[in-house]
Structure 1
Amino acid sequence: MPQQDPSAGDPATHLATTVERGSFAVARCSCGWSGPARRSRDKARTDARSHTSAS
């Protein structure tokens, strides 16, 4: 049986980043969560930080 990454699919593991979509930035997480589209990259980064600290 192949070894699996223990963090894969673990809801306690959150890797939030921001993604550029045209003139908008969106916070996204490895758990599937995504924040609202923001014109302010700083607000998108704040959304990502808020998500990881709340989880």
Structure 2
Amino acid sequence: MAEQDGPEAAGRDHRTTTAEQGRFCVARCTCGWRGPARRARSQARTDAEGHAAGE
């Protein structure tokens, strides 16, 4: 099925990272997802974990 050929089907493993942007930290994923800018690194990591878990 063509629907399964998208980036989510190709790599079901979501690899997340965090990146500093000035005073903020942003979580990003290899699928293209990007979390909101957070002042707390721990909250950006929580966002990334939630995304990877499919929440």
TM-score by length of 1: 0.77
Identity of aligned residues (%): 53
Unaligned runs of 5+ in 1: 1-8
Unaligned runs of 5+ in 2: 1-6
When Rg is computed on C-alpha atoms for both structures, the one with the higher figure is 1
Hey, which of these two has a bigger chunk of helix by percent? 2
Q: Pairwise CA RMSD of aligned residues?
A: 1.4
Runs of 4+ more than 2 Å apart: none
**Count of residues paired in the alignment:** 47
